[in-house]
Amino acid sequence: MTTTRRTSATGQKSTSRKRVSPSQRSKNIAAYFFVGPFVLAFLSLFVVPLVYSGYLSLFKTQLIGGTVFVAFDNYVQAVADPAFLASIGRMGLFLLIQVPIMLLLSLIIALALDSGRVRGSRFVRLAVFVPYAVPGVVAALMWGYLYGKDFGPISQVSRGLGLGTLDFLSSETVIPSIMNIVIWQFVGYNMIIMFAALRSVPAELYEAAQVDGAGQLRIAWSIKIPAIRPAIMLTVIFSVIGSFQLFNEPNLLYKIAPNAIGTAFSPNLYAYNVAFINQNVNYAAALAFLLGIVIMIVSYVVQLSAQRREGASS
């Protein structure tokens, strides 16, 4: 008898839970109405192309036999491709040198602006951020003109001073030259992220440190930088992804320095040339997937090492 009553009560409770009031139903419909366009855009612009690229990467187009299913042969070929491996190594070097310099500059500028001791801080903040608003193609063309060996103003001034012609796009200098472009463009972006994080740190911590006799450097090192560590980590992850996705700068500078840059300077540029110049979309799709895997592994390793270092210090 007791069991029957409990069953009946449970049934009534579950029935009452399933009942949705008209107002709640209208809210649910409105929620689906607002979320629906994003879901459709996400599926059509991200999931479907990704699945289709994965499908293409499993085939190979041959002069004799047409398009045939080759399973993971394209991936095996890509892992042993010296041009692809060289581009990955080149971007690894790019990451190890360019990212620390860029983030250090961003952090120094953010700390200086947050200290309140910089005159015209609003103008400085805008001036540092403006290069990020410049389209990447325009920035690459502008710096390509400045780097020009024969027509660039820097080389003209150098020749006028009797210092000879400066070649910023030789085989030895092209990587630092492209690093300079990326740093110029993204210092402001990372600075804004760090500056916004600094503004959220309670001012009472600074006042307490000043009462204890701490100077600005001590406050920055012991309070501000640890407080914005998640924001710094975010900029590191974004920078890792951006480094391996380098494309605009080498692709546009290739026109004026083809011997120094080549068609496989970065993995993205190599995949682009394989797909649209060599017309081998199947192999290019495999290259793109392998590049995505490399980015995920490097980003995970960077994040994991930062978390372990943070756990060891706490």
Token pair in block for residue 233 = 């980590």
Encode 269-305 in three state secondary structure. Answer: HHHHHHHHCCCCHHHHHHHHHHHHHHHHHHHHHHHHH
pLDDT over 90 (residue 271)? yes
Q: pLDDT class for 10, splitting at 50, 70, 90?
A: low
Token pair in block for residue 57 = 């990467």
Residue 55: how many other CB atoms lie within 10 Å = 11
Q: pLDDT class for 1, splitting at 50, 70, 90?
A: very low
pLDDT over 80 (residue 19)? no
Which residues, listed in sequence order, are joined to residue 67 by a DSSP beta bridge? 61
CA dihedral 264→267→269→272, nearest 10 degrees, is 110
Higher per-residue confidence, 93 vs 212:
93
- d(CA 284, CA 184) in angstroms, rounded, equals 30
Please name the residues in contact with 155: beta carbons below 8 A apart, sequence gap of 6 or more. 148, 149, 165, 166, 167
Roughly what angle, to the nearest 10 degrees, separates helices 153-160 and 136-147? 20
- d(CA 169, CA 148) in angstroms, rounded, equals 8
- d(CA 118, CA 191) in angstroms, rounded, equals 15
For the chain, give the mean pLDDT. Answer: 88
- d(CA 46, CA 40) in angstroms, rounded, equals 10
For residue 88, the model assigns a pLDDT of 94
List, for residues 154-171, the tens digit of each pLDDT value: 988 988 888 888 888 888
Distance of CA 102 to the CA centre of its chain: 13
List, for residues 43-100, the tens digit of each pLDDT value: 999 999 999 999 999 999 887 778 899 999 999 999 999 999 999 999 999 999 999 9
Token pair in block for residue 184 = 């110029």
